[in-house]
Amino acid sequence: MRSFARLLPHGDLIKPPYTLFEVQQGQRKSQRTVGGSGV
């Protein structure tokens, strides 16, 4: 389910709101990894 929402950016529209929150968190994690200060 999570991977599906990730593949479809507009998934939050057809999926529940909780998915949108998870997608936002995933984006933040990606940015953190890009920053170089992973966990």
Residue type, 39: V
Expressed as residue numbers, the domain containing 13 is: 2-35
Domain count, the chain: 1
Checking if the pLDDT of 14 tops 60, the result is: no
**Mean of pLDDT values over 26-38:** 67
Tell me the average pLDDT across 5-11.
Answer: 55
If you average pLDDT over every residue of the chain, what do you get?
A: 63
Handedness of CA 16, 10, 35, 38 (dihedral sign): positive
pLDDT at residue 12, as a whole number: 52
Q: Quote the pTM value.
A: 0.29
Q: What is the pLDDT of residue 15?
A: 57
